[in-house]
Each structure stands twice: as C-alpha cells, then as structure tokens.
Amino acid sequence: MPATTTPTQARKVSEVDQWHMETEVAIVGFGGAGGCAAIQVADSGGKAIIFEVASASGGSTAMSSAEIYMGGSGGTRVQRACGFEDTTEAMFTYMMMSAGPQADEDKIRGYCENSTAHFEWLCELGVPFKDSFHESRAIMCLTDDGLLYTGSEKAWPFAEHAAPAARGHNLYVEGDNGGPLFMKIVTENVEQRPAITVEYEVRALTLICDDNNEVVGLVVRKDQQELNVRATKGVILCAGGFVMNDEMLRKHAPKLTRGNQAIGNPGDTGAGIQMGMSAGGAAINMHEGFISLPYYPPASITGGILVNDKGQRIINEDVYHARLGNAILKDEGERFYFIVTVEQYGDYEKMNFMAAEVCGTGETVAELEAELQLPGGSLQHTVSFYNDNVAHGSDPMFHKASEWLQTLEVPLVALDVTPGRGSFWPYFTLGGLDTLPSGEVVREDRSVIPGLYAAGRTACGVVRRAEGYSSGMSVGDATYSGRLAGKAAAAR
C-alpha cells in the first residue's frame, strides 16, 4: 500500500516566495467528482486546473460499475419509461433510512430534489441510458439495461416506509463497463472546455493558507519540483477516500480491516482528507465504510437462510448485500453459514461473487447441524420453524419478501461465509471532510473555511454506512457533490 506523503500542516502564504501557477479554481483529483466539478466551474464561467496524480483520468469512478442512484420528482426518463413513478418523498425517506442515525438531512434533501435534474445534466454530457428495466436481482448489471434495483428498496423494513422504486441507473453498455465509459465521456467534456486545464502526474502536497486561515492555493509536485499554485477562487479536494491507507484504516475504521479486498484506486490514501484537516476541516463518520458479502448472483441464494454459530437466522436475506454483510459483522457469532437447497445452490459454482466454499452437506438437517458443529437441535429448530411459516407464506421473524420464501428441503448445502475464511469481503471508506451541501468544508463548529471545498469520497456525503448502502449512491454522490462544489467555487 502506498503511504501518503502529504504533510499534515498547511503552508502559510508568508512562506510562499513565488507563485508558479495561477488559476481560479484548483481541483485535486480527476475522478467522477473532480471531472464534474471542473465542468461545472467552466460552465459557470470560471477557470480551473485539475491536478491528477495518475497519468490519466478515472479515479475510483472508472474502476466502478458507475451505476448512478437517481430518482424522485416523478421519475427520470428511464424510470418513467420502465413504469416507475418515483416520488421525491419516497426517495428521501429511503435515503434517510439508509444513512440511519448519521444522516445529513439537508444534503439528502438536496440530492433527492435535484436528482432528476442531475440525470438530465448527465444526459446532456452524453452519458447514455437505455429505457429498459433489468428484472433480476444483481449487484451490477451485465446487460445494457438502463435501470435496476440496486439496494434494499423492496426489503423490510424499507418497503414498509417508502414506496419501492428502482433507482440504479446503468450506462448503455454491455458488461461491467460503465465506469470506463462514464469517465471517457466526462474526460471528453473536460477536454472540450478551454477553461479547464488538466495536469497529470502531478501530486498535490498541501494547502496554502493566508493569515485569516483562508485557503488561497496549494503546493503540488510536478517533475520532482514543488510548485506553488495560486487559486483565486478556491481549492476543491476530490482525491478519494482513504481505503489504501492502512494506518488510517486501523485508526479510524478498524471494522473495514475485516474485509479482504480494498475497492478503490491507489490514490485513495486519504491525502485529500488530511489536507483538509490541516486547514482546520473536521473529518466525520471516519469509522464507517462500505463492507459487504456480495452473495448474489446467483439470486437463488436469496432463497436460502443465513445462520450464525447458534443456528439462528439474523436478518431477512433479501436485503442489499452490504446490509446482510454488516449483520454478520455486528453479530457476536464467530461462524456464519448460508444454508441452501440443492436447487438454490444451482449453478453457484459457475457464477458467484462471494467465493464462499461449501463446508457441509446433509441428507437431514440434523446431519448438517452436526457437521457444522452447531448446538444440538438449533438448526433443526430454525429450519423447521422457517419451513412451517413458509408453508403459510410468511416470515414472521425477519419479513423476507414472499417472492423469496421457499421451503428448505433436504438435502441441504452449507456455504461458509465467516469473514476470514475465503469469502469475498470488498470494502471502501465512507468518512471524510464535513461539508455543507454546497461543498464548503467546515470546521468542528461548522464554520466555513473560506476557499476550501470537497466532493466525492474526500467529503462525507449522502451515503454514510454499509447497512443502508445501495449501489450507485457513491457515483451519484461524487458527481452531484462535485458539481455543487464547482458551482460554489466559481461563484465565489
């Protein structure tokens, strides 16, 4: 893992003897947030330079599926074409529940109210979405369909409170290729705007502050030289999260160290967050992140039950995969199994993300229970209780939706989903600089640091925990928050 080389003290303007470059808005990082920020600066009549440490644009957005979570206001064009008349209130309620106690109501309100307009903005950039609905339960869409369910919208308890609607917008491209296409389009848009300059292979080192603690520029390293960049309207930090910084992970988000696959680009070292902190910015929600057991596809696994080492079920198995994964991480149990029928197991070996191994089979439940070393009678009770209720079409304990209620008939198969035993646990960070909805970075007392903005995973955005995550919320947040920061900086 690359260590950060960012000093955590901002440079004083009194120590700057020469300005090597000047712009209105300096943007650190050319992923989804930085790219959209730059476009918005230019379209607001401003000038921007993007500093990107890599030799090309992309960031973590290009590595993602680039699903984008959008809806409300009666539905986007794609939603309406697919029969979803999504309301802003339903989307707001769902996203508030998603963020849970950490929710930033103002940010979520703004995101939901402006979401269909954001869709239109993306379309104007040239981002293509097909007016078609992908029916099957998937983590990412491998077809070119434009819309799918990407969260827990149809699952308890969300569906009880917010009318479900599919909001995951998928780019019009076959396979898991949304990210590269999205960043290609954003990059083309950046290149078409003369007001934007891009400096690749340039590392941002630290911010430059004046005597009033206002951010007036930043120090970058280019061709092994330190250059002082003056930014007359401000600096926007879009440098990703800190998933690649082991020390920060251990210190702030030890939960994530239970994962085994960091999701992000090598630049996600937390340097942007550290730069913001050095100018007085408060970092919040640093303990949280996305961490998940991606147990579908095949969707058929959803018909099975998840049990802990007491043979107890712990959650409705039809939720989003990160919500189920987090139920495992929160449970006191030391071992966890997915119990499925042979039919549900199906072609699991041909197509699965979670990589959990078969650790037991049983011609009877008692046999499987013994093989898994569960307390005698525990799994037998759980299965018979579950089956008895399935026979009546209900799941009184966990409220799994009826479409997934299937009798567990022997022989049964157990998949070991214990963290650390081979199953796949991807993770990335969700903590970052505290910002106003405008993208302005604030101090611990929420006073604004003049001239400093953050967006994407460098900021703490609308999506705040794995338990309520839905795919598409990060790219949605990055692109939308980037735009707001660009607009605010340009208007300064």
| Contact residues for a second copy, defined by CB under 8 A | 4, 6-9, 12, 100-102, 211, 213, 247-248, 251-252, 254-255, 257, 274, 277-278, 280, 282, 284-288, 310, 312-315, 327, 330-332, 375-378, 381, 385, 388-389, 396-398, 434, 443-447
- Given the DSSP bridges, would you call strands 21-28 and 225-237 parallel, antiparallel or unpaired? parallel
CB of 146 to a second copy, least distance (A): 33
CB of 280 to a second copy, least distance (A): 7
Q: Nearer Cβ to a second copy, position 3 or 351?
A: 3
Q: Nearer Cβ to a second copy, position 21 or 275?
A: 275
Token pair 């970058």: residue: 220
- Given the DSSP bridges, would you call strands 357-362 and 215-222 parallel, antiparallel or unpaired? unpaired
CB of 2 to a second copy, least distance (A): 14
Using the Cα atoms of residue 303, residue 304, residue 307 and residue 313 in order, give the sign of their dihedral: positive
Cα torsion at 131, 136, 138, 144 (round to 10°)? -30
Q: Nearer Cβ to a second copy, position 42 or 95?
A: 95
Evaluate the omega torsion of the peptide bond into residue 298 and state whether it is cis, within 30 degrees of 0.
yes
Q: Nearer Cβ to a second copy, position 36 or 209?
A: 209
CB of 443 to a second copy, least distance (A): 5
Three-state DSSP state, 219: strand
Half-sphere exposure of 141 (CA within 13 A, CB side): 32
CB of 344 to a second copy, least distance (A): 22
Q: What is the 3-state secondary structure (H, E, C) of 128-162?
A: CECCCECCCCCCCCCCCCCEECCCCCCCCCHHHHC
Q: Nearer Cβ to a second copy, position 281 or 426?
A: 281
Which structure tokens are listed for 217? 């520029």
Q: Nearer Cβ to a second copy, position 102 or 438?
A: 102
CB of 91 to a second copy, least distance (A): 22
8 Å CB contact between 288 and 431? yes
